[in-house]
Amino acid sequence: MNDFIQNKIMPPMMKFLNTRAMSAIKNGMLYPIPFIIIGSVFLILGQLPWQAGQDFMNKIHLGPLFLQINNASFGIMALLAVFGIAYSWVSDAGFEGAPAGLTAIIVHILLQPDTIKTVTSIADPTKISTAYQVSGVIDRTWLGGKGMVLSIIVGLLVGWIYSAFMRKNITIKMPEQVPANVAASFTALVPAAAIISLAGVVHGFFTIGLHETFIEWVYKVIQAPLQHAVDGPGGVFLIAFLPVFIWFFGAHGATIIGGIMGPLLQANAADNAALNKAHELTLSHGAHIVTQSFMDQFITVTGSGLTIGLVIFLLFGAKSVQMKTIGRMEIGPAIFNINEPVLFGLPIVLNPILGIPFFLAPLVSGFATYYAIYFGIIPPFNGAVIPWTTPALISGFLVGGWQAMLWQALMLVLTVVIYWPFAKKYDNILLAEEEGTEV
């Protein structure tokens, strides 16, 4: 089975994941992460989980200020992502990536509406309703979560077209006497002009022919269905199984799958953050279950495979020297969600005995958490995206209050139950090897 998977399944999968397009998405989505985290911190500060504290923050005017900081960081993650994806593609192709990233930002904004429609009720809202339209503005709605799929499309296309122009030397050549920074700006002129003109044609086709902008069409036809597809049992299975499946063969599964699924999970998180600001964070108001926090705090917390259960066995149940030694080495990293010492030290990688609970733990935690939110046992997560190194329990509290913290603790205890019998079996094998006896 290992040979079949290694020789038949993994090579084409890794070839696909290492294509320039997938690498651009994976690497480009890293650029918004610091600002999403910063914005999430201010989202938590601006929406404190206890009412008395929130009332005080609003009274001293810090609540609205913190939410404005969130809007200016987390709230524009689509622009940061489109820059990162185009920049990563062009840089990987061997050219200067910044002009392509800036071009992608322009295209992203060009393909959005330049008007905002508002409805104002006068006196009795059931009788009189007048629509007002404000023109010449950028609607921040499309700069955040709702613009993430457009960021992928625009980032990849801009990166591809820009690189093609550069590769064929379709640029303006400046004399050697011209300063390098000036020459670089003219180098980008021709490809940027072509790309922006093409985007203008697309915008005209959709606004004149279909009476909607391209981003609205993308959101309606592509992004919304994808977000809902991810936000269900199928999405839970993908983010719970694929990372550990890839990790089992030695590749960094969480980074690979997180880079691909990240835009949709972050878009779901942005929707939840908006509902949280409006005090409407319920499933009936459209809150999502499967968000970035769902993956980070209930699928990969303590490391891919939720290996804290294994670490507990290493510390308190292991008899072999190898397991006890790795347990002492791993407890510190495990607190901060790093588990490479057990992945490669025991190892879990290509180990059929430890592979079973490694696959099972995130699936159990993922589906249990999904249905806990679905049936109202714990509330949907508030949309905050916190650093992946945040220790368990603290992270649970930050994304969902005390209910999520207690549920996270329950899931971690459950991992001990899942890992223990398999770890005990493997420990007996190692102990017999150390003692020179047969199992």
pLDDT digit string, tens, across residues 218-247: 999 999 898 988 999 999 999 999 999 888
Euclidean distance between CA atoms 194 and 161, whole angstroms:
9
Q: Which parts of 209-339 fold into alpha helices (H)?
A: 214-218, 224-230, 233-248, 253-277, 292-298, 308-316, 321-335
Q: How confident is the model at residue 142 (pLDDT cuts 50, 70, 90)?
A: very high
Mean pLDDT lowest among 41-55, 75-89, 194-208 = 41-55
Q: Which pair of structure tokens corresponds to residue 41?
A: 């911190």
pLDDT of res. 129: 46
Phi, psi (degrees; rounded to nearest 5) at 130: -120, 130
CB neighbours (10 Å) of residue 141? 17
Average pLDDT, stretch 352-377?
Answer: 95
| pTM to 2 decimal places | 0.80
Quote the distance between the C-alpha of residue 285 and its chain's center: 22
Average pLDDT, stretch 83-89?
Answer: 96
Q: How confident is the model at residue 124 (pLDDT cuts 50, 70, 90)?
A: very low
pLDDT of res. 1: 61
- H/E stretch holding 131 reads strand 129-135
Residues 6 or more apart whose CB falls under 8 angstroms from that of 152 comprise 25, 81, 85, 263
